[in-house]
């Protein structure tokens, strides 16, 4: 699934609208639930107050019966009532196997509440209420954390989708620019090919072949740019010939102080687009030549089979800055660079060929890139 295509502006708008709607509904339903619970507790407390107020000289047994029926029978939290000596007399929402142990456990978390009968200026301790937290109260304690986590997750997914959407929009711009460039160059290049045929036999054969070769390469470049953003044309074969072709092309355009070292070992059959893979190799080679500049230097191209088919290209240039910036559209250290070479190469290798483009190492003594493309299953 291509997430970049899934996260459009419309998708993001729908996501936020649905998310805000769900949050609103959950908040409304849960708020009503809390209000109803509070109303019930208020009603119970009011009934106890009314009965107690109607009989201030209420006997001990009557008071205990009132508390039992109006409080204990209605609660949903663990509670144990004991007499003045600490002997359990009744309980609710607890296991009755060992009430004394339960009382100790409840007292460790909450101070027991004494039950006192007042007779004028005298008072009599008749027992204690030992209690814990109800599931409802516990849920209230963790509610802020749950809400915070839910809100962070909601915003994170939305922000992540927004970044993907922005990236896809940037790629659309670059893709459109590349295809428009190819479209604009098609007509003059076609005319150039026509003029070249007119001059055939009228100019030096070497000059003619040189112009013809460059015209051919320009047509290939035109083909490359016109296919950006379109599905690759993958074939299954051994890629050494394609790699050698790209190396030979760049060797002809390198100055005489550049030495090429070619160490080609057999590669397994992989699925690749001939033109696009060749373009990726040429881009890395060109970056290496630019890094060396007019100085003496060397370019080393290795191929070997590991878990993947590996193409390793090293140069003796001045090195590049490490980090993800080198793969960001528009990032370049060249005076007239567009910052597209490594971006396109990374996309060709990783998006079209399901491989990896790795900056293996870089320093003032040179840079090494690796292209890894998975083998085809036999």
Tally Cβ neighbours within 10 Å of residue 10: 9
Return the DSSP state at 317. S
Q: Can you name the residues that pair with 115 across neighbouring β-strands?
A: 127
CB < 8 Å & 24+ apart, contacts of 21-24: 23/150, 23/151, 23/154
Phi, psi of 249 (to 5 degrees): -65, -45
Which two three-digit tokens encode residue 134?
A: 């109800």
Task: Give dist(CA 94, CA 225) in Å, integer.
Answer: 75
pLDDT of residue 1: 43
Smallest Cα–Cα separation from 292: which of 326, 260, 259, 315?
315
The whole-angstrom distance between residue 132's C-alpha and the CA centroid of its chain comes to 43
pLDDT of residue 331: 54
Task: Give dist(CA 145, CA 149) in Å, integer.
Answer: 6
Q: pTM, whole model, 2 decimals? A: 0.52
Tally Cβ neighbours within 10 Å of residue 8: 15
Task: Give dist(CA 112, CA 234) in Å, integer.
Answer: 77
Which residues touch 172 (CB under 8 Å, ≥6 apart)?
Answer: 229
Tally Cβ neighbours within 10 Å of residue 365: 11
Residues found in the chain: 378
Return the DSSP state at 325. G
Return the DSSP state at 377. P
pLDDT in tens, the chain (378 residues): 444 455 566 776 777 778 777 877 887 787 777 767 666 655 555 555 555 544 545 565 666 666 666 665 667 778 888 888 888 888 878 877 788 888 888 888 888 888 887 777 777 888 888 888 777 676 666 777 777 887 788 778 777 777 777 777 666 666 666 666 776 777 777 787 787 788 787 778 788 787 887 787 788 777 777 777 677 888 899 999 999 999 998 888 888 899 999 999 999 999 999 888 998 999 999 989 988 888 899 999 999 998 899 999 999 988 876 655 666 655 555 554 445 678 888 888 988 899 999 988 888 888 999 999 998 755
Contact 313, 288 (CB under 8 A): yes
pLDDT of residue 340: 64
């Amino acid at each position: 699934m291509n997430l970049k295509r899934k996260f459009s502006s419309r998708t993001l708008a729908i996501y936020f609208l649905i998310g805000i709607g769900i949050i609103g509904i959950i908040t409304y339903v849960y708020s009503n639930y809390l209000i109803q619970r509070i109303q019930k507790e208020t009603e119970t407390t009011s009934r106890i107050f009314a009965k107690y107020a109607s009989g201030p000289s209420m006997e001990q047994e009557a008071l205990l019966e009132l508390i039992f029926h109006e409080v204990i029978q209605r609660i949903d939290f663990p509670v144990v009532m004991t007499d003045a000596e600490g002997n359990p007399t009744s309980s609710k929402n607890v296991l009755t196997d060992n009430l004394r142990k339960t009382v100790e456990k409840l007292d460790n978390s909450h101070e027991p509440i004494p039950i006192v009968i007042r007779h004028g200026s005298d008072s009599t301790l008749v027992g204690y209420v030992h209690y814990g937290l109800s599931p409802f109260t516990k849920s209230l304690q963790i509610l802020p954390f749950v809400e915070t986590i839910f809100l962070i997750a909601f915003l994170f997914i939305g922000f992540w989708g927004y970044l993907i959407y922005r990236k896809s929009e940037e790629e659309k711009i670059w893709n459109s620019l590349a295809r428009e460039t190819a479209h604009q160059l098609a007509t003059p290049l076609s005319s150039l090919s026509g003029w070249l045929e007119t001059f055939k036999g009228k100019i030096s054969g070497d000059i003619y072949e040189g112009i013809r070769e460059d015209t051919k390469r320009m047509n290939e470049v035109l083909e490359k740019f016109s296919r950006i953003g379109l599905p690759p044309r993958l074939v299954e074969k051994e890629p050494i010939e394609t790699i050698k072709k790209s190396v030979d092309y760049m060797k002809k355009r390198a100055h005489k102080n550049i030495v090429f070292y070619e160490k080609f070992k057999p590669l397994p059959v992989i699925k690749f687009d001939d033109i696009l893979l060749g373009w990726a190799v040429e881009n890395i080679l060109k970056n290496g030549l630019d890094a060396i500049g007019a100085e003496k230097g060397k370019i080393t191209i290795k191929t070997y089979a590991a878990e993947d088919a590996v193409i390793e290209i090293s140069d003796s240039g001045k090195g590049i800055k490490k980090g993800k910036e080198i793969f960001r559209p528009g990032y370049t250290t060249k005076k007239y660079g567009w910052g597209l070479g490594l971006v396109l190469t990374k996309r060709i290798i990783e998006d079209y060929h399901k491989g990896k483009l790795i900056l293996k190492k870089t320093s003032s003594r040179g840079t090494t890139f690796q292209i890894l493309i998975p083998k085809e299953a036999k």
